Structure 1
Amino acid sequence: MTQGGRAQAEASAPFTGLLAYPITPLADADALDLDALGRLVDDAVRAGVDGVVVLASSGDGRAFDDAERDQVVRAAREAAGAAPLHVAVSAPSTRQVVRHALAAERAGADGLVLAPFAYAPLVDPEVAGLVRAVADASDLPLCFYNKPLQTGYDVTPELLVELAATTTLRGVKDPAALPSRPDARVDELRTEGVAVGLSGDVALTGDAPLADAWHTGLAALAPAEYVALRRSRAAGVPGPTAEATWLHELARAVGVLRPVSALHALARLLGVRTGPPRGPWLPVPDDGVALLRGVVDRRP
């Protein structure tokens, strides 16, 4: 696809471009801080991200009850304005996933993001049944969030083809790198009507391919740098800029810490009002905060 064709596709297709995954900020006593969330979403949209996804891994969606989830989606919807807003709906049971999907649709979501998981790794027929149940309940486009290290399930290109033909599946989010699969498999996952997106900030800020989309929690905290990085990569600009080098250093620092806790600690260093995430996540220890602060202080 040419860069012009890619830009046109990203303007019209769901789950394309740079998709930012904000944390869910918390105030005292673990209460939601919806004003802080609204500012994160607004800042990301103003910086030029192509969409926002709430309540996924970065947003620690498993930590919130139905009423809190509804507040998060509605606050993000208001802050996002006309920008696409997608909602992660993962849960341990199909009934919960469908409930989350319907609630997200009522609250104004433009799309759904689903990582299938249970207390044992699922198999293809179970995953297909879950996706079909969501598609039967909601007309919103669905992005398959593939997390093999965390769920023990790795989606196959063959299943994506089947689901794209029979359900509302319109995107896939795949790791840009895994220990067993160090290179992104964008071409393998190419399926008509499905946007192939990549995740993993260390790889994305390194040498991961552009793909149809980048899905990233860090883009919600450093949106200007991430937007500039993706645009320069799309334009074929040679060599890393100072901002891109800093962003890669930041991704590496976050990557050696506990993921959600690190994003909350980084958010505070960047001026976002939030406490640590809810347990069982633990706050980042002092040496980890110092590591992040050292990188933040070198921001170009």
Structure 2
Amino acid sequence: MTQPFTGLVAYPITSLAHDGEPDLISFAHLVRNTAFAGLPGVTVLATSGAGVTFDRAERQSVVQTAVESALMVGTSEGSRESILSVYTAVSAPSTREVVRLAEDAERAGAAGLVLAPFSYLPLSDREVRVLFMAVAEATALPICFYNKPAQTQFDVSPATLAFLAANARVMAVKDTMRRDNVAGRVRELREAVGQAFSIGLSSDVQLLAELPEVDAWHTGLAGLLPGEYANVWRLARAGGLQGASLARLQTIAQSLAGMPHAIGALHALSNVIGVPTAGPRGPFAAATQEETWQLGSAIHG
């Protein structure tokens, strides 16, 4: 069995209809595109997917759609199992809600959970450990620690990650490249958790600039352009030249990074590439017409 949370993991938006309800047809198209591109994993309802803006029933329908769409591609290739692992973000303000979302995800057939210690107040190290232990007791799914220090005001330490790996079925970390000395950070984490643990990084601009040699890249842009991103990932792993695909993705990533409304910009990019969606739910703002035009220019050159 492939180690969970490794390789190129895409984070698609959750497509919306114009009445603000999830557009499961457009969303399924994004998941199938990711599977056809040969990516090993997709994470739904994380930051790019604006998971915290959906209620429990809506999250269930999104996860079920993702699992069914991934399985459909696997079946079409003559396999009884999906070639794409569907991971589900389950962050919520209370442990009770996180546990319920985790149980729902397991019943829907998700391959793993992605959890950021979300709270209205900064959490202590003890509180974070207890949260992850509660989730591990409620399900048998592997867990990826989604480390977002700028947003959650909690930066997981190597010692806590090692504790969770030993006691809470945490098998991976998604860490940010938006920090000083990323290489040193990766070394510290590796010394703490060992080789069987997946260390992954996120932040598209930095990923595409440095092409880091880690176990996983976690990327929202790959949720919309999986084929091109997969090509860059494979060439980077093989030590080859990425050429035009890398330059194009860098241009798009830089354009997205320069926009003040990140989720709205991703929804606009989805429309630019031909996968329809309304803007995100509030409080996230939609992209402006000028921002959409800028993204179109980045896509079409």
- TM-score of the two chains, using structure 1 as the length reference: 0.93
2: CA distance between counterparts of 1:282 and 1:23? 14
* Cα deviation code 1:155-212 (max 9, x no counterpart): 011111111111110000000223xx25342222111332000000001111141200
SS of structure 1 residue aligned to 2:209: coil
Q: Does the alignment pair 1:256 with 2:258?
A: yes
* Cα deviation code 1:102-158 (max 9, x no counterpart): 010011111000000211111110100000000011110000000000011000111
2: CA distance between counterparts of 1:117 and 1:107? 23
Q: Does the alignment pair 1:55 with 2:45?
A: yes
SS of structure 2 residue aligned to 1:206: helix
2: CA distance between counterparts of 1:183 and 1:15? 19
* Alignment of structure 1 residues 107-122 onto 2, 5 Å: 107-122=108-123
- TM-score of the two chains, using structure 2 as the length reference: 0.92
Gaps spanning 5+ residues in structure 1: where? 1-10
In structure 2, the residue matched to 1:293 is 296
**Corresponding residue to 2:235 among 228, 232, 236:** 232
Residue 293 of structure 1 and its aligned partner are, at CA, apart by 1.1
SS of structure 1 residue aligned to 2:29: helix
SS of structure 2 residue aligned to 1:119: coil
* Cα deviation code 1:243-276 (max 9, x no counterpart): 1001011001111112111100000000011000
In structure 2, the residue matched to 1:183 is 182
In structure 2, the residue matched to 1:65 is 55
In structure 1, the residue matched to 2:173 is 172
Q: Does the alignment pair 1:135 with 2:136?
A: yes
Residue 289 of structure 1 and its aligned partner are, at CA, apart by 1.3
Over aligned residue pairs, what C-alpha RMSD do you find?
Answer: 1.1
**Corresponding residue to 1:279 among 278, 282, 300:** 282
In structure 2, the residue matched to 1:247 is 249
2: CA distance between counterparts of 1:222 and 1:251? 11
Ranges of 4+ aligned residues in structure 1 off by more than 6 Å: none
In structure 1, the residue matched to 2:147 is 146
Aligned letter for 2:176? Answer: P
Percent identity, please. Answer: 48
CA contact (8 A) 1:54 1:86 kept: yes
Q: Does the alignment pair 1:14 with 2:14?
A: no
Change over 3 Å in CA distance of 1:129–1:13 after alignment to 2:
same
Aligned letter for 2:292? Answer: V
In structure 2, the residue matched to 1:217 is 220
2: CA distance between counterparts of 1:263 and 1:182? 28
2: CA distance between counterparts of 1:43 and 1:248? 21
Change over 3 Å in CA distance of 1:283–1:182 after alignment to 2:
farther
* Cα deviation code 1:189-246 (max 9, x no counterpart): 11133200000000111114120001111001111110011100000114x4111001
